[in-house]
Amino acid sequence: MNVAGLQGARRSPGALAGRGLRSPHFALGASSGSGRQPCSTSLTRKGHRNRKRVGAATELAASVTQSDGGAQEAGVLEVTNLEAEIDGKRILNGLNLRVNKGEVHAIMGQNGCGKSTFSKVLVGHPDYSVVGGSVGYKGSDLFALEPEERAHAGLFLSFQYPVEIPGVNNTDFLRLACNSRRKALGQPEFDPLEFYGHVAPILEELKIDSKFLNRNVNEGFSGGERKRNEVLQLAVLESDLAILDEIDSGLDIDALREVAEAVNKLKEKRKDMAVVLITHYQRLLDYLEVDFVHIMKKGKVVKTGGPELARELESEGYASIDLEFE
């Protein structure tokens, strides 16, 4: 995370551009849990640098609403034979996944199978090279968009380890992020008062303490508070596809339930929002209703089922699943 750039943003939004961060929304929507910042000028897909843009953020956002009722409606996310590598090491090996709007998918898999890599590739982390396959997002080529544009188009990745941004007030950060997306969508930006009108009901619905707004981003936050702050960001941004990478990690039982309830509340309100949960534990699914569970192994989805698949994993472990696919 480019802390210096974001501190500058508190004084002046323009400072973000000067420090290589074009908006805080970029930081929110297209960052990785590694704390490294995606570079807005680099594309992860070889050969895409000069590709003609097939969809600006506005067009993409519009495409979802306009495609209602179509027999062949595109999935929010259509991943086909995706292959990606880092430093020449192949991590994703022909991953396939389709997520329709409103659906909740859980991705499970042993350590190192490529779950976080998948999420980072989607948001355009520059360390990863896409070497094969395709990803459609709302019917357009995701890789034709810069990381910042992906965020503007409604793609949100929650941090696995949300970082502190000392000196940056949460309200300022959220408002700049929100306005960055609104501007890209051609919507009027919120002034501070209007933004408070936007965020106050969200806090109430998600049962998040309004003191969160006065604090600096994640500074001194407990693990549970940080994860709730991620959900707050997601709600404020009104993203269309939320990728929640281990939103349950490091949480005690009560915090886990509270975070899951916040996601549920958000889903109730925004029924079309699609969610991809990356998790190791079935217990999250006790609180969050999922439509599909996918098991990843060696960089691809090897099995898909319903919530019962997670329960089977919990009781039998991966060995039982692996046998079917060796």
Q: By CB under 6 A, which span of 60-68, 106-114, 161-169, 188-196 interacts with ligand ATP? A: 106-114
**18 or 112, CB closer to ligand ATP?**
112
**Pairwise CA distance, residues 33 & 163, whole Å:** 8
**Shortest distance (Å) from residue 116 CB to ligand ATP:** 3
Residue 158 within binding range of ligand ATP, rule CB under 6 A: no
Q: Does 111 bind ligand ATP (CB under 6 A)?
A: yes
Binding residue for ligand ATP, selected from 109, 124, 133, 147, defined by CB under 6 A: 109
The nearest distance, CB 112 to ligand ATP, in angstroms, is 4
**Binding status of residue 127 toward ligand ATP by CB under 6 A:** yes
What amino acid occupies position 233? Q
CB of 229 vs ligand ATP, minimal distance in Å: 21
Whole-number minimum distance, CB 127 to ligand ATP, in Å?
Answer: 5
| Residue 112 in the binding site for ligand ATP (CB under 6 A) | yes
Phi, psi of 289 (to 5 degrees): -80, 125
Does 218 interact with ligand ATP (rule: CB under 6 A)? no
**According to the binding rule CB under 6 A, does residue 117 interact with ligand ATP?**
yes
Q: Which of residues 252-281 bind ligand ATP (CB under 6 A)?
A: none
CB of 111 to ligand ATP, least distance (A): 3
Q: Which stretch, 61-69, 76-84, 114-122, 220-228, contacts ligand ATP (CB under 6 A)?
A: 114-122
Per CB under 6 A, 33 contacts ligand ATP: no
Q: Are 253 and 132 in contact (CB under 8 A)?
A: no
Q: Does 300 bind ligand ATP (CB under 6 A)?
A: no
- How many residues touch ligand ATP under the rule CB under 6 A: the total is 12
Note whether 278 and 246 are within 8 A (CB).
yes
- Any contact of residue 154 with ligand ATP (CB under 6 A)? no
Minimum distance of ligand ATP from residue 119's CB (angstroms): 8
Encoded tokens for 235: 């709600």
Is the distance from CB of 290 to CB of 104 less than 8 angstroms? yes
Is residue 125 close enough to count as binding ligand ATP by CB under 6 A? no
Nearest to 152 by CA among 142, 162, 161, 160: 142
Binding site for ligand ATP (CB under 6 A): 86-87, 91, 109, 111-117, 127
